[in-house]
Structure 1
Amino acid sequence: PPPAGLGWGAASTGGYDWLWWVVRSGTARPGFLGGVCAADGRPSPGCLDHVAARRFFGRSEIGGVQIEVRMMNRDDPRPSHGKGALRNFHSRLLIRMQDLEFRAPVAALQHARKTSRTVCLGGNGQFVRMSALDDLNAERGRPWTGRLLEDFELGIHLMLAGWINSFCADTHVEQEALFDTKRFLTQRTRWAQGVMQCFGYIPAIWRSNKIPNIGFLELAFFLSQPWLQLIGALLYPIPMIALGISYYRHPEAAAAYLADGGWRGIALYAAMALGQFVIWGPIYRRKCEPETGFWRSLGWGLAYPFYLLFLYIVSWRAVGRMVSGRNGWAKTRRNAETPTGGPVAKEA
């Protein structure tokens, strides 16, 4: 206290202030690294050796390094203790989807971002050079400035200051995946709202001569995603709704249309909508879970698009919070915690 109850950014800034007091020698600061792990985070052995390697912090232009994130409870057979088989199946699948998300598509995106120099920092397993934080502190008054997606905002600030962020998959940090849908939505709503808050950085990114053009395009697309999801939630169902109405009003004509080849268009629509996400199941198996059977990994891939439907829900919830003026940081209660009634444990 006091920053402990005000959100991740405030707590991280408090940690930075303490480290600044401890390490006051200016000559030592360029080689001094600050690492951030959540209370449930478990960095793998040798983690520091990997991030300090020649191709990461061994390069003087590297300001931040994000390591791979894994879910430590991905193999828990009964995450919802005391609940029935169906509830536990849902919880296991929700946990597995989070592990798949971070270790397959997110990791692939982070590797691709090395080309555009737009690697993002995550809340768990981020490492930052203290001299880079000093630059932000001198420019902005504090390294973390209050957005609800503090880690992503920090990464943007580092890029705008001329530092390069990188992604290290040679090591990892494990954290607890959420198995309760309500708490999961609370967490992802905060993330979506944080991205929406960072949308205002697009002009600064455009004007910056330290971020390449391809980096601007990637960041602009990422920052636009929650807003595009609002539109998508309205537009994507239209073809199926129109088909349903047509079938209800003119069942014989609709049946004739489908029999005459119309089903091909529907199949193509479904393949384009789902196929790009289903492939992540087998990719995740090959990269992360080689002992898992192919058909199970295909099942994970088929579940992944439905898991992503949560993004449309949380985008609308985030807009609702912004419209109602709720911009405060809402802590997501961890699996082993019990509700305390305090402000930091309050669900949004």
Structure 2
Amino acid sequence: MSGGITLLVLGVALLLVWPLHNLVLAGFAWWRPRPGRTTPDRPPALRFWIVVPALNEELVVAATVRAALALDSERTPVRVLVVDDGSTDATPEILASIVDSRLHVLRRDPPNARQGKGEALNAAYRLIRDTAVAEGSERETVLGVIDGDGRGTPDMLREVAAFLSARDVGAVQCRVRIHNRRSLLGFLQDMEFSCVADASQSLRDVLGSVDLGGNGQFVRLTDLMRFGDSPWSACLVEDLELGLRLHLAGVRVRYATNAVITQQAVTDPRRLVRQRTRWGQGNLQCLRFLPRLVAARTVRTAALLDFAYYLVAPWLVVPMALLVLGLLGVTGYGWATGQTFGGLVADTADAPWALGLWLTALTAPGVLWGLVHRLRLRDEPLHRTVLVGLLYPAFLLLGALASTRALGRHLSGRNAWSKTERLVEEPVPA
């Protein structure tokens, strides 16, 4: 009987914890004031270098560079540095065709090229640092990272500059959205970034545990200079590691929900799993920072708990998946034999009610996020947001598969870096 009670408790926990977690997070997203214009009329004068790491980006790099140059203004002057990391397609020719004195191209050839995004960013950082020191502008310089498919909204830098006007703020992460969301898989990623991740990052902004993303991160040059010649590491999620290092150094990282950067979705499920495998493996690599975070006096308790959650969670995916499969197996066996295992498995008469309860618990969080997307962003029809909400559990299964592969790769010592493929550009939705 004690084993049955244990399984019953585990089953109830699995039934309730995930929906309650999403309900609390969605409630926080709804409780926040609706995003509006918060930038001051005259943000502090800062100089922005926008780094675009480029490896075989012929399909997207021209539009990305032009969009980055368009962010330039009197109060937020911009220079763009594209790191051509040994491209073998038409990327060099496309960059050469863009005539603009604010555009700089750093070509990296083998054997230095293709060592991962972190090394490409470090090469860009060293060039920018040396230039700023020579100009005497290192204290006013901000280094931003926009991926090869990234597009910033017109007022993005004004918002970033407003956050950096506080002396204790050294880095800002922008909100991410998807601009090719016509496919359901693309829209699912937009809901993930623009709603779920946005709510998580906004809560972390309160807790003091904002993490940097690979796209739309902005860091003061003087804070990057704390880490010598290589602020970014060879970690598969070099952005997350940099964020953790900044927190350990006592640098405050803020989240700008009104500063939006858009990027391409991965619309092929196999490629999506490959991308998320790399992300998951990078998270696993960053677990080594947890003891340092625990010992650090610069990290608040609430932030530490959040760091612990998202650094430990990837390690729990496989055991939780095995637990769920075990519970499903027990349920199937119980229905086949008529055993209830001390109440863990519903009897035949209660099976429809129990199945309906599980399906509700499984689908309710996704539908809730679909409604949040519709009511807060208002750029997709209701029927479509509800549909992707119902498909959200299947999307999470792809993530669980990727996490399982990531754990296998991590334990076997395979750390090869794989780039996300680009697609032919689609028009950006209004």
> Where on the TM-score scale, by shorter chain, does this alignment land: which range?
0.7 to 0.9
C-alpha change, 1:57 and 1:273, in structure 2 (3 Å) is same
Q: 1:308 aligns with which of 388, 396, 403?
A: 396
Matched ranges for 1:329-344 at <5 A: 329-336=417-424
Q: In structure 1, what is the equivalent of residue 347 of structure 2? A: 257
C-alpha change, 1:37 and 1:330, in structure 2 (3 Å) is same
d(CA) in 1 for partners of 2:293 and 2:346? 53
d(CA) in 2 for partners of 1:68 and 1:218? 19
Q: Does 1:59 align with 2:158?
A: no
Q: In structure 2, what is the equivalent of residue 292 of structure 1? A: 381
Aligned-residue CA RMSD (Å): 2.3
Q: In structure 2, what is the equivalent of residue 37 of structure 1? A: 146
Q: 2:311 aligns with which of 223, 228, 231?
A: 223
d(CA) in 2 for partners of 1:145 and 1:264? 52
Q: Find the residue that maps to 1:118 and give its secondary structure.
A: coil
d(CA) in 1 for partners of 2:246 and 2:340? 61
Indicate the larger mover: 106-115 or 275-284: 275-284
Q: In structure 2, what is the equivalent of residue 82 of structure 1? A: none
d(CA) in 2 for partners of 1:165 and 1:4? 30
C-alpha change, 1:26 and 1:145, in structure 2 (3 Å) is farther
Q: Find the residue that maps to 1:22 and give its secondary structure.
A: helix
Q: 1:193 aligns with which of 256, 264, 281?
A: 281
What is the identity, as a one-letter code, of the residue corresponding to 1:99?
A: D
Q: Find the residue that maps to 1:104 and give its secondary structure.
A: helix
Contact map agreement 1:118 1:215 (CA 8 A) in 2:
yes
Contact map agreement 1:278 1:305 (CA 8 A) in 2:
no
What is the identity, as a one-letter code, of the residue corresponding to 1:63?
A: G
Q: Find the residue that maps to 1:327 and give its secondary structure.
A: coil
TM-fit CA distance, 1:256: 8.7
Q: In structure 1, what is the equivalent of residue 215 of structure 2? A: 124
1:125-167 CA-partner distances (Å, limit 9, x unpaired): 1101101101122xxx520122111111110010000001111
d(CA) in 1 for partners of 2:185 and 2:300? 37
1:153-182 CA-partner distances (Å, limit 9, x unpaired): 110010000001111111211111110111
TM-score normalised per structure 1: 0.84
Contact map agreement 2:338 2:348 (CA 8 A) in 1:
no
Q: In structure 2, what is the equivalent of residue 112 of structure 1? A: 203
Matched ranges for 1:1-348 at <5 A: 1-2=108-109, 3-24=112-133, 28-53=137-162, 56-75=163-182, 92-137=183-228, 141-250=229-338, 257-259=347-349, 261-290=350-379, 292-293=381-382, 295-336=383-424
d(CA) in 2 for partners of 1:154 and 1:185? 24
d(CA) in 1 for partners of 2:210 and 2:411? 30
Indicate the larger mover: 283-292 or 25-34: 25-34
What is the identity, as a one-letter code, of the residue corresponding to 1:108?
A: A
C-alpha change, 1:227 and 1:275, in structure 2 (3 Å) is same
TM-fit CA distance, 1:279: 0.9
d(CA) in 1 for partners of 2:219 and 2:201? 16
1:192-234 CA-partner distances (Å, limit 9, x unpaired): 0000000111000000000100111000000011111111111
Q: In structure 2, what is the equivalent of residue 344 of structure 1? A: none
1:228-251 CA-partner distances (Å, limit 9, x unpaired): 111111112333221212223349
Contact map agreement 2:129 2:138 (CA 8 A) in 1:
no
TM-fit CA distance, 1:291: 5.1
> How many residues get paired?
314
Contact map agreement 1:73 1:176 (CA 8 A) in 2:
yes
1:301-330 CA-partner distances (Å, limit 9, x unpaired): 111121011121011111221233211211
1:248-306 CA-partner distances (Å, limit 9, x unpaired): 334999999231x354444334433432333111111111235512x432222111121
- Stretches of structure 2 that go unaligned for 5 or more consecutive residues are 1-107, 426-430
Q: In structure 2, what is the equivalent of residue 346 of structure 1? A: none
d(CA) in 2 for partners of 1:305 and 1:115? 28
Contact map agreement 1:47 1:171 (CA 8 A) in 2:
yes
d(CA) in 2 for partners of 1:289 and 1:194? 34
- Stretches of structure 1 that go unaligned for 5 or more consecutive residues are 76-91, 338-348
Contact map agreement 1:136 1:158 (CA 8 A) in 2:
no
What is the identity, as a one-letter code, of the residue corresponding to 1:272?
A: A
Identity, % of aligned positions: 34
Q: Find the residue that maps to 2:231 and give its secondary structure.
A: coil
Contact map agreement 2:273 2:399 (CA 8 A) in 1:
no
TM-fit CA distance, 1:25: 5.0
TM-score normalised per structure 2: 0.69
What is the identity, as a one-letter code, of the residue corresponding to 2:347?
A: Y
TM-fit CA distance, 1:48: 1.3
